[in-house]
Chain A
């Protein structure tokens, strides 16, 4: 019955590595989002995709690349990880521009 799911829940990696986080929603929504929550709990949008098309692209380093293979999936690939990338990353989905439903989050720790 999971509405928005993310894998993995925890990700610990070394600086310089490349990693991916996956997101899937079974709500039939047409829009998916990635948010970053920093250590002070501040939530900031990074990207949104509507029907596999990039809609929102905030000022995010180009080391971050979202990919949407279909409407139900939005993955986030991060190249050359840095210490400052450590955060909790949340995926969300909606019938744009309506209510957004969040996933459980992926805690990324870069050592």
Chain B
């Protein structure tokens, strides 16, 4: 099955700096890579996602890059703000239609991001 490794486990930055979180995956059949932000006491919230036919995607201060050959993808947050402090999860999934892994997401271990004012 799929295995997703996420690094670092904790990340501390100053307000205004950039933050980068990296993930690797093992299953070459995975074709969908979302990133979720989880604030204390809440459910994970999708912040950006990328599919295997795209190498990079950007949404304001957030960008995600994907290298299918190396099986890794990264989240980049620029101009960080204190409200960006949360736990961030990467995930990999997709699979083949009709297969038992169809729609299944495998999550990384999470990164606790702290942005200091």
Question: Contact residues of A with B, CB < 8 Å?
Answer: 4, 31, 33, 40-45, 48, 50, 55-56, 90, 94, 96-105
Measured in the bound complex, the distance between the Cα atoms of B96 and A55 in whole Å is 13
Residues of A within 8 A of B36 (CB): 102
Q: Do residues A97 and B93 form an inter-chain contact, with CB atoms below 8 A?
A: yes
Q: Closest CB of chain B to A17's CB: distance in Å?
A: 24
Tell me the count of chain B residues lying within 8 A, CB to CB, of chain A: 27
Residues of A within 8 A of B102 (CB): 55, 96-97
Question: Contact residues of B with A, CB < 8 Å?
Answer: 32, 34, 36, 38, 41-46, 49, 87, 89, 93-95, 97, 100-107, 109-110
Q: Closest CB of chain B to A57's CB: distance in Å?
A: 8
Measured in the bound complex, the distance between the Cα atoms of B42 and A56 in whole Å is 24
Q: Do residues A42 and B109 form an inter-chain contact, with CB atoms below 8 A?
A: yes
6 more A-B contacts (CB under 8 A) besides A90-B43, A99-B49? A33-B103, A48-B104, A55-B102, A56-B101, A56-B103, A102-B43
Q: Do residues B94 and A97 form an inter-chain contact, with CB atoms below 8 A?
A: yes
Q: Do residues A43 and B44 form an inter-chain contact, with CB atoms below 8 A?
A: yes
**Chain B: which residue is nearest A95 at the CB level?**
B103
Measured in the bound complex, the distance between the Cα atoms of B22 and A29 in whole Å is 30
Q: Do residues A96 and B34 form an inter-chain contact, with CB atoms below 8 A?
A: no
Q: Do residues A99 and B89 form an inter-chain contact, with CB atoms below 8 A?
A: no
**Chain A: which residue is nearest B104 at the CB level?**
A56
**Chain A: which residue is nearest B49 at the CB level?**
A99
Q: Closest CB of chain B to A9's CB: distance in Å?
A: 9
Measured in the bound complex, the distance between the Cα atoms of B43 and A31 in whole Å is 18
Residues of A within 8 A of B109 (CB): 40-42
**Chain B: which residue is nearest A43 at the CB level?**
B107
**Chain B: which residue is nearest A4 at the CB level?**
B43
Residues of A within 8 A of B32 (CB): 97-98
Q: Closest CB of chain A to B64's CB: distance in Å?
A: 14
Q: Closest CB of chain A to B44's CB: distance in Å?
A: 5
Given known A-B contacts A45-B104, A48-B103, A97-B94, A104 and B42 have beta carbons under 8 A apart: yes
Measured in the bound complex, the distance between the Cα atoms of B44 and A101 in whole Å is 8
Given known A-B contacts A41-B110, A43-B89, A97-B95, A103 and B103 have beta carbons under 8 A apart: no
